[in-house]
A and B are shown apart, each in its own frame.
Chain A
Amino acid sequence: MVWDMALINIPASAQHLRTVARVLSLPAASFSRVLQIAGVTPRPSDWQQFLQRLFLFSGVALLLVGVLAFFAFNWAQLPYYAKLALPQILMLACVMLVGLRGLESAGSKAALLAASVFVGAALAMYGQTYQTGADPYGLFVAWALLILPWALIGRSAGLWLLVMVLLDLSLILYWAQVLHPPRWQGWRSGGPLQWILQRLFDIGLAQWLFILNALSVLAWEALALRGPDWLQSRYLPRLLGFVALIMVMANVLSLLFDGHGDNGARFSVLSPVLYISGTVAGFWFYQTRRRDMFMLAVILFSWIIILSSLLVKTVFSSIDNLHWDIGGWMLVLLFIGGAIIGQIYTMSRWLRAIRQQWRNSDAHPNPG
């Protein structure tokens, strides 16, 4: 049988062995023996290696946090030059480590990322010590520009993620503090995070965030098609694509239910255009040029959310008043629930068909 050849050669990992034990109801002795044969049960040498790594990493982590706690306890007593020197010394230590080990190893990339974080800490210490009254967006812009050379040579998705986070924060803060500061300062009373989240409902800001993140994804995918290994990582374009989609989708939903936005209301009609063109182009790209089932699923699910919201809005707008009898409400609830079920079913069938199409084209590649 074909499945014998295809499936029995799957690796005897711990997870697969447990599945087999459950299906075959293996006795305890047989289960222990199968784990030994497969090398799953750790031997003393495996334990030694594991404990060495565990003690090293957790010991270093506990020491670092302990040192951090010690410095935090004595922070007020530290002179200002010590406070300024601390993040710079840490940054220098990380850079020296990278210099000694080169850029290729995972440890070096982690050290370069840590050094990039310490750049921000150093800038924050500088801003705290010398209170110039500058807008906070300047810190994030400077931080992003200073670490850009490291991102270019580092060839690390993590570094580029940090750069994108800083650029997004710079845009949000510049828009919210310089271009369109809130008329009522009481909006800040909930703290900076609440205030930033509040600003994201601004249509103009959300459109610019969509454009920034969508262009980043476009640039990443265009360069990745050329083949460098480190660009084949999927988590960064997926994350940025997801953020861009959320921004423009929130806009469309806001227009659907609210009908108006804050700043940028003149260009509010752009949001549906950006959403439709972005998702259609994205669906075509991730189906034909760069196979990514995750992105296809995200785009389809966003269509379901928008269509369902449109349906709810249409149904409730067509009702003259909400004083219905129970029967009317039951019909509405049943209709909307059924519509969502239908869309989910269509989505899963569509994705299965695409997956099958990919499998067929892999099995019988087009010689052209």
Chain B
Amino acid sequence: MPIPTLDSVFAQLQHEGLVAANWSEPLAAEFCSEAESSAWYIRGFIALGAWFASLFLLGFIALLGWLIFHDSFERSALLLFSIVCLVSATLVRRQHAQEFLVQCCLAVCLAGEALLAVGIALLSDHYLHSYGSHTAETQILVSLILSQALLVAVYPDNTLRFLACIAMIAEAVILFYIYDAALFIHGLILVLAMGFVHLVLSEGRYYTTPFAKVYVPIHYAVLIGMLATMLLSTVYVLPELPHTAIFPRPWLSTLALGGVLLYTVVRLTHGTTTPVRDTIKIVCLIGAAAFIGLSWKAPGLVLSLLVILLGFQSANRLITGIAIAFFSIFLTTFFYGIEVSLLHKSYTLLGSGALLLVGWYLLRVQQREAGHA
């Protein structure tokens, strides 16, 4: 079926009274700039060059900062310098959108974040070392999380917003490990999964809100953060080592994600404009539950299926592609992980694979019956 044009789609929408007659006027600047922008690889090379140049310029600015600050605020010099970097990068970026400057500001901002961590570490070490062994790390991570949350709100660049959200998720995971609370990772995965489902299924609600500007980077950051955190389940640490497991009790994530998957299946089968038969809804739910049961020790399989379904529903090939790539990576790391025996893995994989092929066969039979009818 040929894809309709924007003109025909919005003409229909205008006819139904859902859009104004001058709908095309605001789009001129957006699509003109899109047509004139460079190819992704040229932008990539410009970004690389900008980052290299920024390293030298940062060195120049760092020495300048040292000249200005080191006599007055010796221990705070690095912290002050990092704040100067973050503020100046944000201000410049809000005024300019030229590709090279965008990448330079991004490099300066990320360098500022790194210097913020080092600056706080130096201060913590000097003034607060008696308060406890985890105080410095906690202060660094919490400061980074707060500064990154602020950057997401004020820095007008999707790349930085995306990286900041990913970093916040990573810092939360590190905090869990610092305080030997690895079980909270399951809670984090559940929250991220629920957030992702909500962001995809309720996408239309955000375009009229101020959140529209940050929707895309947060949406993808939640996805990537969730998948990356799930990959921790394939890391195996020998039980003889004096550390708690990296991903204890993986069935907790399977259970949590199973609930989210069942909810998503219910939403997808109930939310279509064409009615779906009750028997199909029940079959979908039973099939999903059986898949969850068979993937008890491999929660990544449940997560892959969830993301693939949502990617297809939102007609977003990037999300579907990421989910398929994650499925392959998870399968490979699961295969090479040594916590579960090869025999147990083969049973899990054969069982899940057989169930999916049964599902495929039932769908084919149902399609033929519908065709004959």
Binding site for B on A (CB under 8 A): 1, 3-4, 7-14, 16-17, 19-44, 47-48, 50-52, 54-56, 58-70, 72-73, 293-294, 297-298, 300-301, 304, 308, 326, 329-330, 333-334, 336-338, 340-341, 343-345, 347-348, 351-352
Contacts and interface: CB of A to CB of B under 8 A. Distances in A.
A24 B19 contact: yes
A3 to B, nearest CB: 6
Nearest to A308: B52
Contacts of A51: 359-360, 363
B8 to A, nearest CB: 7
Contacts of B205: 28
Given A52-B363, A66-B353, A337-B60, 17 more contacts: A3-B28, A3-B31, A8-B7, A11-B4, A11-B5, A14-B316, A20-B6, A25-B207, A34-B9, A43-B272, A52-B364, A55-B359, A61-B328, A62-B356, A63-B350, A66-B348, A348-B38
Nearest to B272: A44
B276 A44 contact: yes
B3 A59 contact: no
A190 to B, nearest CB: 20
A30 B5 contact: no
A117 B21 CA distance: 59
Contacts of A72: 342
A329 B352 CA distance: 62
A187 B18 CA distance: 70
A334 B337 CA distance: 49
Q: Is the interface of A mostly helix, strand, loop or mixed?
A: helix
Contacts of A20: 6, 10, 27
Contacts of A13: 3
30 contacts: A3-B28, A8-B7, A8-B27, A12-B5, A13-B3, A19-B34, A23-B27, A24-B26, A34-B9, A34-B18, A37-B12, A39-B3, A42-B312, A50-B312, A55-B356, A55-B357, A59-B353, A61-B328, A66-B348, A69-B342, A69-B345, A70-B346, A294-B41, A298-B41, A329-B63, A337-B57, A337-B59, A344-B49, A344-B100, A351-B38
A25 B360 contact: no
A62 B207 contact: no
Contacts of B63: 326, 329-330, 333
B204 A340 contact: no
A25 to B, nearest CB: 5
B162 interface: no
Interface string B329-351: 00100010000011101111110
B350 A67 contact: yes
Contact of A29 (B5, B18, B31, B345): B18
Given A43-B274, A330-B63, A341-B53, A297 B360 contact: no
A259 to B, nearest CB: 23
Contacts of A11: 3-6
Which of A7, A9, A293, A347 has the most chain B CB atoms inside 10 A of its CB?
Answer: A7
A12 B10 CA distance: 9
A129 B279 CA distance: 55
B66 A326 contact: yes
Given A8-B6, A63-B350, A334-B60, A48 B18 contact: no
A347 B49 CA distance: 10
A39 B1 CA distance: 9
Contacts of B345: 66, 69
A14 B10 CA distance: 14
Which of B12, B268, B349 counts the most A-chain CB atoms under 10 A from its CB? Answer: B349
A26 B315 contact: no
A301 B5 CA distance: 38
Given A59-B360, A69-B342, A340 B353 contact: no
Nearest to B42: A297
A9 B100 CA distance: 31
A63 B273 contact: no
B25 to A, nearest CB: 10
Contacts of A340: 49, 52-53, 56
Nearest to A297: B42
Given A16-B6, A52-B363, A62-B352, A69 B346 contact: yes
A58 B356 contact: yes
B46 interface: yes
Nearest to B24: A8
Q: List the 7 shortest-distance A-B pairs measured between CB atoms, nearest first.
A: A62-B353, A66-B349, A59-B356, A337-B56, A28-B204, A63-B353, A66-B350
A363 to B, nearest CB: 15
B331 A347 contact: no
